[in-house]
Amino acid sequence: MTRFTEYDCSGGCPVEAALEQIGGKWKGVTLFHLLDGVKRFNELQRDVGGVTQRMLTKQLRELEAAGLIHREVYPVVPPKVEYSLTEKGESLRPILMALKDWGEEHVLATA
């Protein structure tokens, strides 16, 4: 059995670090919906459901700062901004899918 006690985690636990990047209230869901492909702001807001503009903007900026998503602005009128996953963000796909499956089975299933 692998022992994790050696993982001191003091100030640099990989699990904690990972959760920090997807830990916001809407970050996980946002990333999840971006697995779908490129989406615009309003599309995301619809998909995520219940998130306010302010929060979605904030979370998107943080995800962008973390290098998980890419923000492409088209200088047209009306404004058009597209969000997509970076490679780093795409690498979260198996984790996000696992979280979805786990959530379905162990949380929502009321079982």
Partner DNA sequence: CGGAATCCCAAGCGATACTG
Partner DNA sequence: CAGTATCGCTTGGGATTCCG
Q: Please choose which of a copy of itself, DNA, none residue 29 contacts, taking the beta carbon within 5 to 8 angstroms, the exact cut-off set by kind.
A: a copy of itself
User: Which part of the chain contacts a copy of itself (CB under 8 A), choosing from 6-14, 56-64, 72-80?
Assistant: 6-14
Of residues 30-89, those binding a copy of itself (CB under 8 A): 32-33, 35-37, 47-50, 88
Question: What are the phi and psi torsion angles at 71 (to 5°)?
Answer: -115, 115
Tell whether residue 96 is a contact of a copy of itself (CB under 8 A): yes
Q: Which of 25, 35, 46, 51 is nearest to 83 (CA)?
A: 35
Burial string for 46-65 (b: 16+ CB within 10 Å, else e) reads eebeebeeebbeebbebbee
Phi-psi region of 9 (alpha: psi -120 to 50; beta: other; left: phi over 0): left
Per-position x/- string for 27-46, each x denoting binding to DNA as judged by CB under 7 A, each - no binding: -------------xxxx---
Q: List interacting residues with DNA (CB under 7 A).
A: 24-26, 40-43, 50-55, 57, 60-61, 71, 73, 78-81
